[in-house]
């Protein structure tokens, strides 16, 4: 296995989103592992826009993407946030 760091600094800021990514090469398979953290008091719109931009940076149809982390979604956001996240993750065939 070989891995390389993917620079995600431009999508991160201390208050709203921290994001990092690695590209893993395992045999003939490529996996991109992305971890995110959203502060409970962070701006949800900023978070989603930067998450979408980061996903767009790394996405192509020859890699698998694993997205994990602490999204700190509050119950009152449940109606709007999952729809935006689903849209973000499925627009280019990401699942």
Can you give the pLDDT at residue 70? 93
Residue-wise pLDDT for 51-80, tens only, equals 999 999 999 889 999 999 998 876 665 555
27 within domain boundaries: yes
13 within domain boundaries: yes
How many domains does one find in the chain? 1
**How confident is residue 95, by pLDDT bands cut at 50, 70 and 90?**
very low
Name the percent of the chain lying above pLDDT 70.
77
Please state whether the predicted TM-score (pTM) of the whole model is above 0.75: yes
pLDDT at 83 over 90: no
56 within domain boundaries: yes
25 within domain boundaries: yes
62 within domain boundaries: yes
CATH number, domain at 65?
Answer: 3.60.10.10
95 within domain boundaries: no
The string of DSSP codes covering 44-73 is HHHHHHHHHHHHHHH--TTSEEEEEEE---
Question: Checking phi first, is residue 72 left (phi over 0); if not, alpha (psi -120 to 50) or beta?
Answer: left
Nearest to 84 by CA among 50, 39, 42: 50
Q: What residue numbers bound the domain in which 35 lies?
A: 2-90
């Amino acid at each position: 296995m070989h891995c390389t760091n993917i620079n995600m600094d431009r999508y991160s800021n201390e208050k709203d989103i921290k994001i990092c990514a690695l590209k893993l090469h395992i045999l003939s398979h490529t996996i991109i592992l992305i971890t995110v953290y959203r502060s409970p008091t962070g701006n949800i719109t900023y978070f989603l826009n930067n998450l979408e931009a980061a996903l767009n940076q790394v996405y192509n149809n020859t890699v698998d993407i694993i997205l994990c982390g602490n999204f700190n979604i509050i119950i009152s956001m449940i109606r709007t946030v999952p729809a935006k996240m689903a849209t973000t993750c499925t627009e280019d065939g990401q699942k």
